[in-house]
Every structure is written in structure tokens, then in C-alpha cells.
Amino acid sequence: MTQTAYEPRTVPLPPDPRAHLTSPVTRSVLLVQNEITAAAREYLAGEGFVELLPPIIGPVTDPGARGAKQVDIDYYGHKYKLMTSAILYKQASLLAFDKIFYIAPNVRLEPLETASTARHLAEFHQIDVEVAHASREEILDVAQGLVSHIVRRVAAQRSAELSFLGRDPRAFQPLLDGPFGRMTHHQAAADLDALGHEQSPDAEIDWVAERLLSAQHERPFFITDYPKGSRGFYDKENPDRPGTLRNFDLIAPEGYGELCSGSERESDYRQIVARIRETGENPQKYGWYLDLVRAGIKSSAGFGIGLERLTRYVAGLEAVWQANAYPKLPGVVSP
């Protein structure tokens, strides 16, 4: 990534833990966040989802977190990892239930320069959803329904906190009034070119570009069909358009940027092994997962919403660390 991809900004830094935890701002933000998780559970339970408790460690974890380092732990003499995301377990869980979700902690040692992006933490959480036999269109509807429900409930129940935080609830009217926008990655690249920002149709959209697009919109929108190579091996490739994935990001409006990534998943053993090899990794690393896949897993689609990112957008916060009680900025020694 080029330096500008991260666009360092002057953002407020977390104060000491006592000042942070006793601040009326933090307390308002955490009440908004509490409403977000309650609303997520309410919506997903109503749609027939089973909440599972997420794993924290495992022999392997999601390799798709580009640029971030994984954390090793010693598990009785075996090298285990802290979860960067629970994607492999989400696919496995569908052996038990067809609709599952976690609210899961993730640890990613993000590059040092991301400490000043206002959108990266080294420890954060995802609302992590997976649905057996779902298509991408169906999972987009779940993501839209979930985010709309969350925003509607927070606006109704936490208007005092939003007002204290200076968040004008009128910002949510477009979101509540209509469906989220949808565009392909190809279209996003063309829009960026028209805005004077060079964007290859074959590459990931960097943060500066994403913010440009985000600032053009007044309600969240989906970008679909990212090019292969930009995402993990578990995002399904479109058989009719090789090189293109059946995946998506959900982008918040007003410049807040990415809230969520998701996809139809690859569930075919040979395809998964080929995709792992294409990324230069040794399939043997994924032993337990590949054993399951070989014996058969369900096709699925799912997504993960960054909880602190969603809180930042809903509460209108300057920086994502404000949405965490014990914020860990990349590289910053903190409790």
C-alpha cells in the first residue's frame, strides 16, 4: 500500500483508563453500543439465528487480514493463533445450525501507521453472521435488514445519548427511508476515475478512495464483486466471471467508510485447496478445516460487521477507539 492509502490524520488519542471510563462521552458511546448489540441480537433472533460463543484461539486463523500480523500463543507446545476472524469456524458451525452468529473479539497487529487512521484498533469485535445455502443477494438483504434495525432502535431508544454526542438523528433519515445503494467494484472504479482518483478495476479500493466514495453518499451502500486476490480464499469466485468474487463490502455514508465485508463462501474441497495454494500458503496448515471440508460442508454466505466501526458511524465519533472501553491502538502500549 502506498503511504496515502492510510492517510494519517490528526485524531484525538485515548486518555488514561480512568479518564476514559469516567468520561460522559465514553459512557454515552458505550450505552449506544449496548443498544447496538441488543438490537442485533433482537433482529437476528427474530430471523431464526442461533447465537454461538466464538472461539478465541485455534491452530489457524483467517489469513485474509491483509497487512496485519497474527498473534501466536503456546498451546501445550503447539503454536496456536488468536482469532483474526472466526470465518473458518463460522463455516464449520453450519454443521450444527443453518443460521448462526457470534459477537466475536478479534486481534490483529495492524501496521503501526494505522494508529492514526481513526478506524483501526489492534483488538476489536465483529457481529459475525453466516447462513447456510444463502446466495449473495439473500445475505445482502440480511445485512441491510440488520443495520437498518440497529439504527432504527438506537435512534428511538438512545436519542438523549446521541444528542449529547452531537449526532443529529436526521443523518439516519435516508437510511431509514429506502434500500441501501448497490454498485459493483467495476462501477466504483469508474466513479472514482470520474472524481479524479485513479482506481484500477483489478485492485482493492484503498482507504482514501473509499472515503471519497463514502462522502458522496447519504445512506449506506454495497460494493460487490471485488477482484480475486484482494480477499481471502473463502470468498467464492464467480464461475461465470472468473477473477471476480461473489463478495461485498458495506460502506457507511458521510465519509465513515467500510462497516462490513462479506461473501458467498467457497465450500468445494478442491477449489478451496487451489485457492489456498494460489495465495502461497500450505494447505497442510488448515488440517482440521480441510478435513471437515473434504467430508462436506454446507454452501453459505455471511458477513462480519465491525462493531466499533458501526458504533463510530451511529454515534458520529471522530475516532474508532472512542467506541471501545479499553482501546488498543496499533503499536500503542495500553491496558
Under the rule (CB under 5 A), what is the footprint of Mg ion? Answer: 261
Decide: helix, strand or coil at residue 280: coil
Query: How far is residue 284's CA from residue 187's CA, in Å, rounded to a whole number?
Result: 38
Q: Which of 104, 259, 276, 319 binds ligand AMP (CB under 6 A)?
A: 259
Q: 44 or 260, CB closer to ligand AMP? A: 260
Site for ligand AMP in 315-334 (CB under 6 A): 320
Minimum distance from residue 292 beta carbon to ligand AMP (Å) = 21
- Tell me: does residue 204 bind ligand AMP (CB under 6 A): no
Q: Which residue is nearest to ligand AMP (CB)?
A: 306
Tell me how long the chain is. 335
Residue 244: all three cell numbers together? 471476480
Nearest residue to 114 (alpha-carbon basis) of 37, 7, 203: 7
Distance of CA 316 to CAs 3, 138, 197, Å? 26, 29, 26
Number of helical H runs and strand E runs in the chain: 11, 11
Strand partners, 248: 224, 262
Q: Which of 54, 63, 306, 327 binds ligand AMP (CB under 6 A)?
A: 306
Q: 124 or 172, CB closer to ligand AMP? A: 124
Decide: helix, strand or coil at residue 87: helix
- Tell me: does residue 220 bind ligand AMP (CB under 6 A): no
Minimum distance from residue 78 beta carbon to ligand AMP (Å) = 25
Q: 110 or 237, CB closer to ligand AMP? A: 110
| Alpha-helical segments (H) within the chain | 17-22, 24-46, 87-93, 136-157, 159-164, 173-177, 185-194, 207-215, 269-278, 287-295, 307-315
Site for ligand AMP in 32-91 (CB under 6 A): 65, 85
Binding mask 152-171 for ligand AMP (x = CB under 6 A): --------------------
Query: How far is residue 88's CA from residue 138's CA, in Å, rounded to a whole number?
Result: 21
Query: How far is residue 244's CA from residue 227's CA, in Å, rounded to a whole number?
Result: 5
Minimum distance from residue 306 beta carbon to ligand AMP (Å) = 2
Nearest residue to 7 (alpha-carbon basis) of 241, 275, 274, 207: 207
Query: How far is residue 182's CA from residue 180's CA, in Å, rounded to a whole number?
Result: 7
Query: How far is residue 101's CA from residue 91's CA, in Å, rounded to a whole number?
Result: 11
Minimum distance from residue 308 beta carbon to ligand AMP (Å) = 5
- Tell me: does residue 309 bind ligand AMP (CB under 6 A): yes
Q: 61 or 261, CB closer to Mg ion? A: 261
Picked from Mg ion, ligand AMP, none, the partner binding residue 92 (CB below 5 to 8 A depending on kind) is none
Query: How far is residue 169's CA from residue 107's CA, in Å, rounded to a whole number?
Result: 32
Q: 107 or 162, CB closer to Mg ion? A: 107
Binding mask 91-130 for ligand AMP (x = CB under 6 A): -----------------x-x---------xx--x-x----
Please state at what angle helix 307-315 crosses helix 24-46, rounded to 10 degrees.
120
Interface segment toward ligand AMP; rule CB under 6 A; list 29-37, 153-161, 212-220, 257-265: 257-265
Q: 234 or 286, CB closer to ligand AMP? A: 234
Q: How many residues bind ligand AMP (CB under 6 A)?
A: 17
Minimum distance from residue 217 beta carbon to ligand AMP (Å) = 16
Minimum distance from residue 15 beta carbon to Mg ion (Å) = 29
Give residues in contact with ligand AMP (CB under 6 A).
Answer: 65, 85, 108, 110, 120-121, 124, 126, 258-261, 304, 306, 308-309, 320
